[in-house]
Chains A and B, each alone.
Chain A
């Protein structure tokens, strides 16, 4: 019996099925991604990495940093909290409202809360409950706002503020996502560790700044130079056991500078439509609490119009 056509069809459907699933569908989903606006502040995101940082991506790639470091924050859930910002002028009313919205709080505890503001007064509530609490507190003259707070093991470790999404890698080629986590995640390292000198010292001698680090030193990214007349301003500040004698100095090369510029440009710290969270100071009062007379009282329509990056439904 001739099984040729059957084998051909089986192979064809197996290959084209995986092509549709692994190539075509992702391309249709995120292939057309463009720079977008950060929710609330309206600043463009992401910005292309500056030149030296773009060069640093190649250094990152060449030295295999992605074999031990991932760039992906995992988020397992999202919590809605209510944060009390100001007690207002009527202390007694604020205390009464606070006791009402947080059952089981004694008057003394409520007064204690009002002493150290801003403070999270409710955690993990529904949207309706958060809005209702915000409203009843504002009726009492206090200022509260509902917060959206991502939760997850990586966020608890302080590695990031929200999950990583495709948008974060828009201008990167190749995407250095990484899968192993021998070292910590670097998706938001530019915000976590903003000091370039820390990074240079860490690359030269990891155990100098992190005693238990298992990272290998990248000393070939530095140059050992004899000090001619004056010590270079760029020379690393190293303790005696790492320094190479009084007549020598350790100076970062262009590669290590580029790598550090790249690390500092890794900042996934902005709220996006697909990964929302509340930024302190940027959050506005909840809808329905704009009752206080303002000069723009008549224009809540414009103010509540959806942000421009809301997808068309």
Chain B
């Protein structure tokens, strides 16, 4: 017979060898819990809650936001690149328009005048004839709804840009104004005519 203790029990002849079952020590269980807790705290601090825009050394989206440079850039400056992409192809980078394609923006009463009329034009397009600076323009094709895909902020920035560039000096168009007009225009796809627009304030 084997003596008591932790040695492997010597078996009787004919019996199978059997491993002794020992309980997991309490300190190991506690240590694993501490390790798990530490891991969760570590993860909580550095994981950024899986936000794709949070990279080290930032810990959370809120922290990244506090580091954003002041965005007090004028609407006019934000509008310039959008103008180049959306408008300048026909209206020219200096707003002088192109013969056979589009009338000018420089000193145009349509650009400098009523915001309600101006905002409507990029939202549904415009078909001629149109009188700008005393000259009549009538092109074969009408202008497409170039601004319908832009956000309220972007469209307001573009319109502000054309109202305040190249010697133009008119008030700013706010995103709220664009939003209000967009709601009024609704899903219209038909280009405006000047008579329609002139009926507006």
> Residues on A close to B: CB < 8 A?
25, 29-30, 33, 39-43, 75-78, 80, 127, 145-146, 148, 163, 165-166, 271, 273-279, 282-287, 290, 295-296, 298-308, 310-311, 313
Residues of B within 8 A of A285 (CB): 70, 72
Contact B71 A301 (CB under 8 A): no
Q: How far, in Å, is B183 (CB) from chain A's closest CB?
A: 18
Contact B68 A276 (CB under 8 A): yes
Instruction: Confirm or deny: B57 has a beta carbon within 8 angstroms of a beta carbon on chain A.
Output: yes
Instruction: Confirm or deny: B118 has a beta carbon within 8 angstroms of a beta carbon on chain A.
Output: no
C-alpha gap A310/B44 in the complex (Å): 23
In the A-B complex, list the 7 residue pairs whose CB atoms are closest, starting with the nearest: A284-B72, A29-B52, A274-B53, A299-B172, A276-B67, A278-B69, A284-B70
Contact B52 A40 (CB under 8 A): no
Contact A306 B71 (CB under 8 A): yes
Residues of B within 8 A of A163 (CB): 55-57
Residues of B within 8 A of A299 (CB): 75, 172, 174
C-alpha gap A296/B51 in the complex (Å): 36
The 8 Å CB contact of B71, one of A80, A165, A166, A284, is A284
Task: Count chain A CB atoms within 10 A of each CB in B67, B76, B153 and give the residue with the most.
Answer: B67
Q: Which residue of A lies closest to B81 (CB)?
A: A42
The 8 Å CB contact of A42, one of B57, B67, B78, is B78
Contact A296 B74 (CB under 8 A): yes
Q: How far, in Å, is A273 (CB) from chain B's closest CB?
A: 6
Q: Which residue of A lies closest to B76 (CB)?
A: A296
One digit per residue, 1 when the CB lies within 8 angstroms of any chain A CB and 0 when it does not, for chain B 38-77 equals 0000000000001111111110010011111111111110
Q: How far, in Å, is B112 (CB) from chain A's closest CB?
A: 14
Contact A39 B68 (CB under 8 A): yes
C-alpha gap A43/B80 in the complex (Å): 10
> Residues on B close to A: CB < 8 A?
50-58, 61, 64-76, 78, 81-82, 151, 153-154, 156-157, 160, 169, 172, 174-175
The 8 Å CB contact of B69, one of A40, A43, A311, A313, is A40
Q: Which residue of A lies closest to B68 (CB)?
A: A276
Given contacts A29-B50, A42-B78, A275-B55, contact A287 B67 (CB under 8 A): no
A284-B73, A302-B75 given. 6 additional CB < 8 A pairs? Answer: A274-B58, A283-B69, A286-B70, A296-B75, A302-B175, A303-B73
C-alpha gap A238/B74 in the complex (Å): 51
Residues of A within 8 A of B81 (CB): 41-43
C-alpha gap A44/B162 in the complex (Å): 21
Residues of B within 8 A of A306 (CB): 71
C-alpha gap A276/B58 in the complex (Å): 11
Residues of B within 8 A of A40 (CB): 69, 71, 73
Given contacts A75-B56, A299-B174, contact A307 B154 (CB under 8 A): no
Residues of B within 8 A of A303 (CB): 71-75
C-alpha gap A35/B110 in the complex (Å): 34
Contact A274 B74 (CB under 8 A): no
Q: Which residue of A lies closest to B150 (CB)?
A: A308
Q: How far, in Å, is A72 (CB) from chain B's closest CB?
A: 11
Q: How far, in Å, is B21 (CB) from chain A's closest CB?
A: 15
Q: Which residue of B lies closest to A78 (CB)?
A: B67
Given contacts A43-B81, A299-B172, A299-B174, contact A304 B71 (CB under 8 A): yes
Q: How far, in Å, is A133 (CB) from chain B's closest CB?
A: 14
Q: How far, in Å, is B46 (CB) from chain A's closest CB?
A: 13
27 contacts between A and B (CB under 8 A): A30-B52, A41-B81, A78-B67, A148-B67, A163-B55, A274-B58, A275-B55, A276-B64, A276-B67, A279-B69, A283-B70, A284-B69, A284-B70, A284-B73, A286-B72, A287-B72, A299-B174, A301-B174, A302-B153, A303-B71, A304-B71, A304-B72, A305-B71, A305-B175, A307-B68, A308-B151, A310-B65
Q: How far, in Å, is B106 (CB) from chain A's closest CB?
A: 18
C-alpha gap A146/B55 in the complex (Å): 22
Q: Which residue of B lies closest to A165 (CB)?
A: B55
Contact B70 A145 (CB under 8 A): yes
Residues of B within 8 A of A305 (CB): 71, 153, 175
Given contacts A29-B50, A42-B82, A308-B151, contact A75 B57 (CB under 8 A): yes
Q: How far, in Å, is A139 (CB) from chain B's closest CB?
A: 17
Contact B72 A311 (CB under 8 A): no
Contact B57 A276 (CB under 8 A): no
Given contacts A42-B82, A75-B56, contact A290 B61 (CB under 8 A): no
C-alpha gap A53/B157 in the complex (Å): 34
C-alpha gap A80/B66 in the complex (Å): 10
C-alpha gap A286/B53 in the complex (Å): 24
C-alpha gap A40/B169 in the complex (Å): 23
C-alpha gap A228/B51 in the complex (Å): 62
